Amino acid sequence: MNRKMLIRQMAERQQISMSQAKVQLQYILASLTQALREGEKVYMPQFGTFELRYHLPRNGRNPQTGEPLEIAGGNQPSFKASPSLKQALLQD
């Protein structure tokens, strides 16, 4: 499913226009992004948790030259599915 398909499905289920569903999705994603930028953990019951996880710098190699290099560490977004979401996916 891509973004356009998701917007269409949201519009059909809520019986609203696709432009209204698009605005709702944009608001949800902007709110989620802002919360993660501020270092907050976003918990959605029966769905999962979004959070930032810090990854340490590590050593790597340039695959073309074989030259060693350091890969910078930093925050990466992470999602952990809730037990109820996992269970719902296993029921099929």
What pLDDT, in 10s, does the model give residues 10-48?
A: 999 999 999 999 999 999 999 999 999 999 999 999 999
Mean pLDDT of 55-70: 94
By three-state DSSP, how is residue 78 classified? Answer: strand
> How many residues in total does the chain contain?
92
Backbone dihedral angles phi then psi of residue 43, each to the nearest 5 degrees: -105, 125
Helix ranges (H only) for 1-92 are 3-14, 18-37, 83-90
pLDDT digits (tens, 9 = 90+) for 66-92: 999 999 999 999 999 999 999 999 986
Tell me the pTM. 0.76
Backbone dihedral angles phi then psi of residue 76, each to the nearest 5 degrees: -130, 140
Q: What is the rounded CA–CA span in Å between residue 18 and residue 25?
A: 10
Predicted pLDDT at 75 = 93
